[in-house]
Structure 1
Amino acid sequence: MSEVTYNRLRTTDPARWTTAALAWRRWAALAGALCGEFAPLVERLRAAWSGAAAEAAVTRLAAVRRRLVLFRLLCWRVDQVLSEFAAALSRARALLDRARAVSAPAEPALDQPDLAGALRVAADADASATARLAELSALPVAPAEPRRPDCTATPAQIRQWWDGLTPAERMWLLGDEPASVAGLDGVPAADRDLANRLLLAERRDYLLRTGVDVDKLRGLDRLAGRLESEGGPRAYLMGLDVGNDGRAVVAFGDPDRAANVLTHVPGMTADLADLDHELVRAERVAARATELGPAAATSAVAWLGYDAPDFLNEAWSARQAEEGAAGLRRFQEGLRAGHEGPAATQTVLGHSYGSLVVGKAATGALDADRVVFVGSPGVGVDSARELTVPADKVFASTSISDPIQYAAVSPGTVARHLLPGSPPTGPADELWFGHNPSDAEFGARVFDSQWNAGHLGYWDPGRPALDALARITLGGTP
C-alpha cells in the first residue's frame, strides 16, 4: 500500500479496477460452467464402469470439482474487493472534481474540504482492499469446532460465531456447506453473497425438476443476469428461496461497509418473477444517493423476504404484513450485527403494501434510524407516535395521482372517490389500514412527489421523489 496523493488520485482511472473486477467475475462464471458438467459426467461414469478403479476416478473428479468451487469463491471475493475499491475511487474522484471546480484555475489546497475528503476516501479504500486481499492466501480447512448456531441464535450471536472462525474455516464452510450460511442474518453480506451464488444453479435445477414455472424461471434468470451485469453497482445476493412465489434479498453495494443503508420493502404482487422491477428501484436510490453524497458509501437492499399478496383479496388482510414484519426486524438486526466500523444510518422504506410491513415492524424493535412510507394504504397505526422510530425520523409521500390514497375504509367513501362520474374529492384521510401517513395529522414528515408519479413512478430518474428518497437515505431532509 502506498500513500495516496493529489497527483496520484487525479490520474487514477476507477474504470480500470472495474474492468479487473469484471474479469474475475467472468472467470467465476467459466468455472461454474465447468462445475455444471461434473454431475452428468459422474453419472455416465458410474453407469459404464464399476470397481476400485472407477471409485478412484470418481473420488478424483470430486476433488477437482472442489478445487473449481474454491476457485469460484476466490474469483468472486476478488470481484467484490475490486468492485468496492473502484466504487470508492469513483466517489473520491467526484469529490476531487468538486474541489477542482471550486479552486479553478489553481489547484485546490490540501486543506480544502472536498480534497481532504477525497484523499481520505481513497486512502481508506486502499487500506481495506489490501487487507481483504491478503486474507485470500488461506487454504480452506474444516472448522475445529463442528457446532453451528441453532435456530434460536440472534444475529449478534451468529456474527460472534462467524468472527470466531479463521478465514480458512469460513472459506471451507462457504464451499462445502453453503446452504448452512446463505440465509443466516448476522453473517456478513459479502460471505452470504458467495454462498448464495454457489447455490444459484442448484436452485434453477430444482425449478426444472419440480415442474417449470416459466415466469419464475425467467425471473431467476433475470436475477442471475443482474448478478453478472457489467453496469451499475455490484450486486450482493444475500438470500434466495425459489419455493412458492419465491423470495430474494439483493443489495447494491456492500451494506456492511456503507455509511448509509436503505432497505426497500416492496408491496403487492412482488415475487421472484418480477423482482427485476424492485431491483431497479432500489438501485436507483443507491446511485442517486452516491451522486448527492459521494463522501460516504451508500448501499440499497431490495428485501423481498416475505410472501407479498398476489391479489386484492389477500391485500385486504394484514396477515402477510404481520408475518413479514418479524422477518424484517431480524434482517435489520442482522444488518447491524454484520456491519464493519461505525454504525450505519439504516433507513427502511415501504412501498404500497410493503409500507404496512414496515409499519407493523416499526411498532416493535425495528433496528432502523428512519422509516419511509411511499404510496401507502395505511401502516397499521393512526399516528407516527405509535411507532418506535422517533416521529421526526418518519417520512411519507403519496403522489396526488396515486390511486391508493382513495382506498378508504368506508365503502361509501370508496364509491365517492372511484365510481365513474364521481371525480375524486381529494385524498382520503382514513385508509384501509389506518390514517393516511401522508396526511399532516399522522405526524410524519411529508415530502413532495411529482404529481404524475401514479403508484409506481416515485423512482423515476430526475424527478423530485427520487431525490427526496436519496437525501433521506443520506440522513438528511427531503
Structure 2
Amino acid sequence: MSVVTYTRLRVTDPTRWAAAALDWRRWAALAGVLCGEFGPLAGRLRAAWSGAAAEAATARLGTFRRRLVLFRLLCWRADQILSEFAAALTRARALLDRARAAVGGADLVIGGTGPGQADLAAAVEVAAGADETARARLAEVAATPVAPAAAAGPDCTATPARVRQWWAGLSPGERMWLLACEPAAVAGRDGIPVADRDLANRLLLADRRESLLRAGTDGDRLRGLDRLAARLEAESGPRSYLIGLDVSADGRAVVAFGDPDRAANVLTHVPGMTAGLSSLDHELTRAERVAGRAGELGPTAATSSVVWLGYDAPDFLHEAWSARQAEDGASGLRRFQDGLRATHEGPAARLTVLGHSYGSLVVGKAATGALDADRVVFVGSPGVGVDSAARLTLPADHVFASTSISDPIQWLAVSPGTAARRLLPGPPVTGPAGDLWFGHNPSDPAFGARVFGSQWDGGHLGYWEPGKPALDALAKITLGEAP
C-alpha cells in the first residue's frame, strides 16, 4: 500500500486521471455501437440461414454480444472510479494551493503549526482517502459474473433499506450478473447503490430511445433525451450518474453530478412546472452549478447535486393551480431520500432538499411527513402547502427560503382573494404577497424560515446565476453553513 505524501500530491495531475476515465467511457460507447449492430445481424442471419451450423453461428453471436455488454459495464465502472478519484485529487490540490497561498509563497513546513497547516493536512487526508477507496473499488472489477444462487430480490413493496440489505448480501460477481442480464430490474430501485443504477440505466438508454422512435413521440422529448445522453458522455465537468429514467408521457429522470453515495453533502433539486425530458438540460445546468460552487467553497468534502424529476410536473397553469401532482410526487421524493440514506457509504451525509417553483410545493408536502433531509430550501415558491415552518417536520432553523423581488411568482401565484383584488380597478397592490396560492409565502419572515438574499434582477430562474449571491447561498446551505 502506497503512502500519500505532500511531495507526491504536489506533482500529481488530476487531469490525467480524468482523461483516463474519459478513455474508458469512450470504449463503452464504442462497444455500445457494436452491440447495436449485433441484434439486427442475428435477425438477418436467422432469416437467411437454417440448420445446425446456423444455430451454432447465432449462439456464438449471442455469446459475443453478452461479452460486449459485460465489457461496457466494466468500462463504465472504471470510468466511475477514476472520475471520482480525479475529482477528489482536484479538491486535494485546491486545498494544497490554499495552504501555499496562506504562507505567501514561502515553503510549507510539514507538521508545523503555522498558516496553511490545516489545509495542508486536509489535502493529504483527502488524497489518501481517495487513493484507498479507488484501490478497493478497482479490486472488485475483476469479479467474474455468476448467476445469483438465491431467488429474485425483494418485491416492489420492500423499503429502500431492505433492498440495500439484499443487494449488499450478493457477491460482486452476482451483482455484475444482474446488471448485465436484468438491468431493468435494477435501474429504478431505490436502495440499490447509485453507481450500480447508473450502469443499468446507461445500458438501457438506447432501448428507451428506440421505444420513443417506435411510439412516434414528439421531437422535443427525443431531442431532450439526446441532450441527456450527450450530458452523460460530456468530456468536462463532474461525472454524471443516471439514477432513473422513464420516457413515458413527458418523461421523468433522476441525474446526479458526482456520486451521492460517496459524498459528504448531497443536494436534491426538485424542479417545478413544465419540467420534463425536453427541459431537463436546464435543470441539470442549475444543479451542476451548485455542486461546482460548493466544491469551490468547501473542498474538504465531496458534494453531489441531484436533479430529481421523479414526478409528473404540471404542464399548464390550470394544472399548477392544484396540489394533486405535488401530493403524488411527495411520496416518491420521500422514498428517494430514504434510498439515498440507505445506500450511502461511510459517515452519514448531510442531505439537503431544494424545491423550485411548483417543486417547492412537492418538497413542502414531503416535509410534512417523514422526509429524510437535514435541510430544506424553497426558492421562487408559490407556497409550500403550510402556513408556517413549524408545520414541517424539520426544525425551523433548518428551513431556508428566498424569492427575488423581480420573481413574478409572488404576483402571479397569489391566493384567489388577493388575485381578485389585483384585477379590480383602483390603486395597485404593491409588495410581495403574504398569502400565496399554496399557503403563506415561505420568504416572508413571518413564515419562520431562514430567509436569504437573492439578486434583485434574478427573476424566476436567476437563483443559479454564477457569481451572484443566490448561488453562493445555495452552495453554503448545501455545505451546512449559514447562507
Q: TM-score, normalised by structure 1?
A: 0.98
Tell me how far 1:409 sits from its aligned partner.
Answer: 4.3
Aligned to 1:132: 137
Alpha-carbon separation, structure 2, partners of 1:15 and 1:421? 63
Q: How big is the alpha-carbon RMSD for the aligned residues of Structure 1 and Structure 2?
A: 1.3
Mark the CA change 1:422 to 1:203 in structure 2 (over 3 Å): closer, same or farther.
farther
Alpha-carbon separation, structure 2, partners of 1:418 and 1:405? 15
3-state SS of paired residue (1:437): coil
The amino acid across from 1:477 in the alignment is A
Aligned positions of 1:345-424 closer than 5 A? 345-407=350-412, 409-411=414-416, 413-414=418-419, 416-417=421-422
Tell me how far 1:473 sits from its aligned partner.
Answer: 0.2
Answering whether residue 167 of structure 2 is matched by residue 169 of structure 1, we say no
Alpha-carbon separation, structure 1, partners of 2:427 and 2:47? 73
Mark the CA change 1:126 to 1:357 in structure 2 (over 3 Å): closer, same or farther.
same
Alpha-carbon separation, structure 1, partners of 2:365 and 2:164? 26
Mark the CA change 1:46 to 1:458 in structure 2 (over 3 Å): closer, same or farther.
same
Aligned positions of 1:205-220 closer than 5 A? 205-220=210-225
Aligned to 2:26: 26
3-state SS of paired residue (1:107): coil
Alpha-carbon separation, structure 2, partners of 1:29 and 1:193? 15
Aligned to 2:120: 115
Alpha-carbon separation, structure 2, partners of 1:151 and 1:304? 20
Task: Encode CA deviations 1:398-446: one digit per residue, 9 max, x unaligned.
Answer: 0000010113544452255578996550000000000000001100000
Mark the CA change 1:408 to 1:176 in structure 2 (over 3 Å): closer, same or farther.
closer
102-111 or 327-336, which deviates more: 102-111
Contact 2:355–2:361 (CA under 8 A) maintained in structure 1: yes
Task: Encode CA deviations 1:5-64: one digit per residue, 9 max, x unaligned.
Answer: 111111111000000000000000000000000111011111101122111111111100
Aligned to 2:312: 307
Contact 1:247–1:306 (CA under 8 A) maintained in structure 2: yes
Aligned to 1:184: 189
Mark the CA change 1:477 to 1:418 in structure 2 (over 3 Å): closer, same or farther.
farther
Alpha-carbon separation, structure 2, partners of 1:165 and 1:198? 21
Mark the CA change 1:55 to 1:295 in structure 2 (over 3 Å): closer, same or farther.
same
3-state SS of paired residue (1:236): strand
Tell me how far 1:147 sits from its aligned partner.
Answer: 2.3
Alpha-carbon separation, structure 2, partners of 1:87 and 1:347? 21
210-219 or 105-114, which deviates more: 105-114
Aligned positions of 1:33-44 closer than 5 A? 33-44=33-44
Task: Encode CA deviations 1:259-309: one digit per residue, 9 max, x unaligned.
Answer: 000000000000011100000000000000000000000000000000000
Mark the CA change 1:45 to 1:421 in structure 2 (over 3 Å): closer, same or farther.
farther
Aligned to 1:196: 201
3-state SS of paired residue (1:268): coil
Alpha-carbon separation, structure 1, partners of 2:417 and 2:129? 60
3-state SS of paired residue (1:67): helix
Q: TM-score, normalised by structure 2?
A: 0.97
The amino acid across from 2:348 in the alignment is A
3-state SS of paired residue (1:301): strand
212-221 or 339-348, which deviates more: 212-221
Mark the CA change 1:139 to 1:439 in structure 2 (over 3 Å): closer, same or farther.
same
Tell me how far 1:355 sits from its aligned partner.
Answer: 0.1
3-state SS of paired residue (1:37): helix
Contact 1:236–1:251 (CA under 8 A) maintained in structure 2: yes
Answering whether residue 275 of structure 2 is matched by residue 270 of structure 1, we say yes
Aligned to 2:88: 88
Tell me how far 1:152 sits from its aligned partner.
Answer: 1.3
Aligned to 2:62: 62
417-426 or 164-173, which deviates more: 417-426
Aligned to 1:106: 106
Alpha-carbon separation, structure 1, partners of 2:425 and 2:283? 32
- Give the number of aligned pairs: 478
Tell me how far 1:362 sits from its aligned partner.
Answer: 0.2
Aligned to 2:449: 444
Contact 2:382–2:414 (CA under 8 A) maintained in structure 1: no
Aligned to 2:157: 152
Contact 1:429–1:439 (CA under 8 A) maintained in structure 2: yes
Answering whether residue 297 of structure 2 is matched by residue 292 of structure 1, we say yes
Tell me how far 1:99 sits from its aligned partner.
Answer: 0.5
Alpha-carbon separation, structure 2, partners of 1:409 and 1:115? 52
Tell me how far 1:103 sits from its aligned partner.
Answer: 1.5
Structure 2: gaps spanning 5 or more residues: 112-116
Alpha-carbon separation, structure 2, partners of 1:12 and 1:346? 31
Aligned to 1:53: 53
Tell me how far 1:317 sits from its aligned partner.
Answer: 0.2
Alpha-carbon separation, structure 1, partners of 2:383 and 2:477? 20
Alpha-carbon separation, structure 1, partners of 2:293 and 2:407? 23
Tell me how far 1:171 sits from its aligned partner.
Answer: 0.3
* Match 1:238 to one of 231, 234, 243: 243
Contact 2:415–2:438 (CA under 8 A) maintained in structure 1: no
Identity, in percent, stands at 78
Aligned to 2:347: 342
Alpha-carbon separation, structure 2, partners of 1:88 and 1:325? 33
Mark the CA change 1:412 to 1:364 in structure 2 (over 3 Å): closer, same or farther.
closer
Answering whether residue 77 of structure 2 is matched by residue 72 of structure 1, we say no
Tell me how far 1:104 sits from its aligned partner.
Answer: 2.8
Tell me how far 1:211 sits from its aligned partner.
Answer: 1.1
Alpha-carbon separation, structure 2, partners of 1:258 and 1:135? 20
Runs of 4+ in 1 over 3 A off after TM superposition: 407-412, 415-424
